[in-house]
Structure 1
Amino acid sequence: MKFTVVGDSHGSGVFGLIEELPSGVSLSIDNINQQLLRRQTGYGRGERMEREQDKAVVRSGLWRGVTTGAPLLIEIPNKVSSAEKSVRSIPRPGHSDYAAWTRYKLNDLAVYAERSSARWTAAATAVGSVASQILHELGITLCGSVIAIGNVSCGLPSESGWISRRDASPVFCHDKEASQKMVEEIEDSIKAGDTLGGRFVVIADGVPTGTGGYGTLFERLDSRIGEYFMAIPSVKGVFIGNPDVRLRGSAYHDKLFVENGMIVRKSNNAGGIEGGISNGEQIVVEASVKPIPSLRKGISSVDLSKMNETAAPYVRADTTAVPAASVVGESMLALLLLEAILERFGNGDFRSIKRRVTDESLPYWNDGLGEKHYR
């Protein structure tokens, strides 16, 4: 399975394409649109998100609501035109403006915002919802939560009912007290004409043990997580499992025990992945998001057409996009997990794939595999 996203920020729309999907999966367009709505909302989003009202339009790959095995193409039409009406020659520090200009040499910095804008994440969210729906049919669930905005942070979700608390939060945070403080932090930033970054976590439960591999460097689940999550706009760092690496090995590594004839662990510092392969625990991925680079109060820059110092312009933007990034993170984890699972269990008819996943069991030491090598 592979996917791609195309389209400009202010063109006719953005598009997500998934190839090599299994046939026979019933997809809910309402589910896709719900995820698109979540990506648009979240306290601290800009005025554009109030006007877009994203809806998914499936252009190919569905027959009576069921996947056919053909490429699945989803369009999300754009409703809002560009706020920039004249040539812009002043780059915004922290954005792609200057670096992209040195690479592509087109003398209007607004051109680079079309592809570098986070608008393309609407398409990624749509195809990620497709992947999530398929994973759900295999007993795999994914959910994200914001764990830091600005100077406000909280611990990872652990108690039951955290998803409903996340859904009730204006910033998609499972911690009610931290959520309120995050809103206050955003309000202070709005008043100051500034922007905020933060962190989010995405947790996948039910991933079959043994997913991923070490046959190639990029077959590893952790390699894929780094690749997919670092593609999310403004993400500057990714960590799998417990980021407190000050612990010694005896305290950090997840010890193995036997209970009722089954191998169990009492911690998950590895974040569900060892050697690039899932180990049966929850997969836990944290990502750090930098502040939005377009500030109302401006920041020192240079006018490239005149080579004089000046303030960077304000281009319509969010105060913070951390809640939206958490939704995109769910999509990215869903896409890479589905990719790895289809590589392992095959493609084609979804019922056959589901049966193979269901029939898969943990190996026993004396199951005969490799027996001939020890004769």
Structure 2
Amino acid sequence: MKLGFSPEEELFRAECADWLNAQMAGEFRDIKGISTLTEKAERRKEWEQHLGAHGWGCIGWPKEWGGRGATLAEQVIFAEEYARAGVPGRVNHIGIELAGPTILTFGTEDQKKRFLPDIAAGNTIFCQGFSEPGAGSDLASVRTKGRLENGSWVVNGQKIWTSLAHISDWIFVVTRTEEGSKGPKGLTFLMMPIDQPGIEIRPIKQINGDAEFNETFFTDATCPEDSLIGAVGDGWRIAMGLLAFERGVSTLGQQMAFRNELDAIILDAKANGAASDSLVRQRLAKAEIGLRLMRYGALRMLSNTDHSKVDGAALTYKIQWATWRRNLGELAMDVLGQAGEVTDNADYEWTMLPNLFLYSRADTIYGGTNQIQRNLIAERGLGMPREPRGDV
């Protein structure tokens, strides 16, 4: 497992840091430190395009599709420096981290030419249509239906928790295209343009006043026949391949954002005297140890070159970081005390740490609940018998 970086890689780190810090101190200083995903959304679309114009949009992609062909180490370094510079989260993270790699791996050459350059340039924003009412983390229970009619796919149904659908251009959708099929069989993976009469987006207001999530309704919504990834009925395999990309190099950038949050808690604890409490100090130490263990685990996971074997680190990572960060949010509020429960700003305009607490309540739910993750660990990692499923 590689725990350090070469002198050449550290030079690349300096290049990344210099460029990112210059942007956050210059033209894009107005977006630095934003802690929600919807604040200044249009401005952040401009930031996506700025990244693309300077070759930083998707550095790990091949050069022919708008990337830099960066090594794994370089991608890790960029993700870390991106978070360290206080740059807000990518509004096109679904396109960059999920849709793009899926198209690269499973798409046709025409699909690559059609989508990848615009994703890398920040001109096409993707969102994800997986979860449904009654089928949150259970992708095999989706009911949204698709049928092929006169050279187009026609889709009817509903998706929920569709992050940033209201500012996206395209949505990838898992649909049930085989009548009477159950479970993972009979699913097809489609890419659909959002700006059409058959798709309606309704925002869901969250506990912190934000509306990152949406309900997405499909009423005879359409996309061309060649908009499917893979083959008809192959949607489960494509979706599982896509979800594997969630455990990519962005995990280390994510951890740098966690580092920033933990450092902010430590500063507040020292400033308001909470650090004098031995229990608070113990919890801070435990958070520090947990963060370092996550880093080592992520490096081990990314260093794995034998993809023929199940990677235990990859299976456990989601439940590990989600539980850790939820606990971090609770620690933040305990350190802040009453000061964390009031604000001088307008309604719901919270600073970093109250936002951390509110956002982290969902960490153990989205992307696969902790319960679902434990099933994956048991079945795929430990080889235990599958949980009974009545629909398979």
TM-score by structure 1 length? 0.24
> Could you say which structure has the higher helix fraction?
2
Structure scoring higher RCO (CA < 8 A, sep ≥ 6) equals 1
- Per residue, is there more strand in 1 or in 2? 1
